[in-house]
């Protein structure tokens, strides 16, 4: 997988050069801050698994298409950071803290519009439909999350709808677009879509479990979701385990955002001691099993092996 990163980053760089000049600095600031590049990689793997034609410029077109999902993802991050007033993104100053809110938002819009143009240039209405749906569903997921902030009574179904929109739909789209590029059948596109969505759900659930992990292990502050008022599965299960009196105190502080840093750290420590993070990882395993089942009938080969390895990577993530 690491061998693909230079080619993905080069294609991203070329696409960034196509942005209107005033929007490039803020956009580059976010895109080049890092990231796993999971979405472009999945698009490449799914296309190649089905024997995508990479001759006569096809390889360049495939890399450009794969990077459109990364551009959409970066645009959502830039907008999110403004909405959340976040100071950092991947350990670096968030774009809006350097360039201002307005410029960061407009640069995110430029990323999205350039990605749209790149998808349209492929000449496939199916690709355009998938990209448009992913854009709309991502926005809907973010709105759902905004409405859910500091809601201590958030239902599990509401949480799942949020992460399906904010995380899983883009990963599903990456897989579907790779398959469509390779002229896949509708059944094959659906199989890759199931794989991608289930993988995305598992990825976010594991991410939420990692949020309560020991800060020394994950290399970043613990308890971000508790600070921000996001009732993720670890916090849902912890809240359910409390006595009525303790739950009332938790609800009050969660709703008001009144937890001290010491209380955040102590709560995360207690969640780990109770084994709740392990329970949450078990929730993710069900989605990983769904993802695996969806692609087992597809052509065997090294690309399928990597798609299966990604499931193991998500399951075992420690940071």
The three-point CA angle 35-135-231 to 5° equals: 70
Q: Which residues of 94-103 are buried (b: 16+ CB within 10 A; e: fewer)?
A: bbbbebeeeb
| pLDDT value for 36 | 84
**89 backbone dihedrals φ, ψ, rounded to 5°:** -140, 115
Tell me the pLDDT tens digit for each residue of 87-121.
Answer: 888 778 999 999 999 999 999 999 999 999 999 99
pLDDT, averaged across the chain = 94
Q: Identify the DSSP state of 88.
A: E
Q: What are the beta bridge partners of residue 92?
A: 89
Each residue's pLDDT tens digit, 21-77: 999 999 999 998 878 899 999 999 999 999 999 999 999 999 999 999 999 999 999
Residue 160 has pLDDT above 80, yes or no: yes
Residue 87 confidence (pLDDT): 85
Query: For 126-151, what is each residue's pLDDT tens digit?
Result: 999 999 999 999 999 999 999 999 99
The pLDDT > 90 percentage for the chain reads 89
Taking a C-beta distance cutoff of 8 angstroms, is the pair 27, 19 a contact? yes
Q: Where are the beta strands (DSSP E) in the chain?
A: 88-89, 92-93
233-241 helix and 261-273 helix, angle to the nearest 10 degrees: 80
Average the pLDDT over 257-286 and give the result.
96
Give dist(CA 236, CA 87) in Å, integer.
Answer: 27
CA distances from 196 to 90, 170, 204, 219 (A): 24, 8, 12, 27
pLDDT of residue 77: 92
The answer, yes or no, to whether residue 206 has pLDDT greater than 80, is: yes
pLDDT at 1: 64
Please give the backbone phi and psi of residue 105, each rounded to the nearest 5 degrees, phi first: -65, -45
**Tokens, residue 178:** 């790779």
Mean per-residue pLDDT for 262-273?
Answer: 96
Contact between 132 and 170 (Cβ < 8 Å): no
Taking residues 237-247, what's their average pLDDT? 97
């Amino acid at each position: 997988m690491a061998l693909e990163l230079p080619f993905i980053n080069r294609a991203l760089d070329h696409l960034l050069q196509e942005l209107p000049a005033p929007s490039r600095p803020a956009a580059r600031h976010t895109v080049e801050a890092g990231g796993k590049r999971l979405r472009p990689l999945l698009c490449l793997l799914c296309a190649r698994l089905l024997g995508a034609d990479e001759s006569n410029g096809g390889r360049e077109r495939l890399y450009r298409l794969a990077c459109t999902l990364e551009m959409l993802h970066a645009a959502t991050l830039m907008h999110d950071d403004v909405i959340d007033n976040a100071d950092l993104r991947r350990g670096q100053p968030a774009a809006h803290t350097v360039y201002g809110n307005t410029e960061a938002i407009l640069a995110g819009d430029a990323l999205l519009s350039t990605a749209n143009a790149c998808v349209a240039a492929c000449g496939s209405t199916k690709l355009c439909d998938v990209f448009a749906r992913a854009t709309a569903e991502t926005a809907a997921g973010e709105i759902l999350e905004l409405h859910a902030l500091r809601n201590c009574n958030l239902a599990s179904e509401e949480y799942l709808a949020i992460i399906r929109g904010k995380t899983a739909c883009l990963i599903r789209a990456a897989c579907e677009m790779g398959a469509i590029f390779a002229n896949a059948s509708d059944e094959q596109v659906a199989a890759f879509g199931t794989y991608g969505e289930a993988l995305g759900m598992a990825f976010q659930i594991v991410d939420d479990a990692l949020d309560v992990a020991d800060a020394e292990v994950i290399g970043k502050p613990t308890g971000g979701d508790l600070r921000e008022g996001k009732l993720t599965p670890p916090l849902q299960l912890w809240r359910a385990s409390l006595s009525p009196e303790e739950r009332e105190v938790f609800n009050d502080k969660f709703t008001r955002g009144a937890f001290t840093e010491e209380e955040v750290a102590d709560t995360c420590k207690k969640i780990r001691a109770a084994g709740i993070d392990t329970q949450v990882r078990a929730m993710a395993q069900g989605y990983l099993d769904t993802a695996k089942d969806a692609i087992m009938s597809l052509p065997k080969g090294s690309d399928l092996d990597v798609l299966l390895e990604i499931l193991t990577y998500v399951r075992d993530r420690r940071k």
